Amino acid sequence: MKTTELRQKDVAGLQAEVKALQKAHFGLRMQKATQQLNNTATLRSARRDIARAKTILVEKQVAVPSAK
């Protein structure tokens, strides 16, 4: 997911996005554990997407402290 798409979301939308990305990452880890994952590079990109979304979420929470 691109940063421009993430920056357009509000805090609640970003929290939902992080949760969805973490769920997808868990699924990928389970596929890897059961030898069903062909492209292991998706694990790295999933981790980076989570980090990107969390970074933008923190930036927005700092900018608007009442949104916590």
Question: What pLDDT, on the 0 to 100 scale, is given for residue 19?
Answer: 97
- Does 60 have pLDDT greater than 60? yes
pTM of the predicted model, to two decimals? 0.87
- Does 13 have pLDDT greater than 70? yes
- Rounded to an integer, the average pLDDT of 2-27 is 95
Rounded to an integer, what distance in angstroms lies between the CA atom of residue 57 and that of residue 51? 10
Question: What pLDDT, on the 0 to 100 scale, is given for residue 18?
Answer: 96
- Does 64 have pLDDT greater than 70? yes
Rounded to an integer, what distance in angstroms lies between the CA atom of residue 6 and that of residue 57? 9
Q: Which domain holds residue 32?
A: 3-67
- Rounded to an integer, the average pLDDT of 35-62 is 95
CATH number for 13: 1.10.287
Q: Count structural domains, the chain.
A: 1
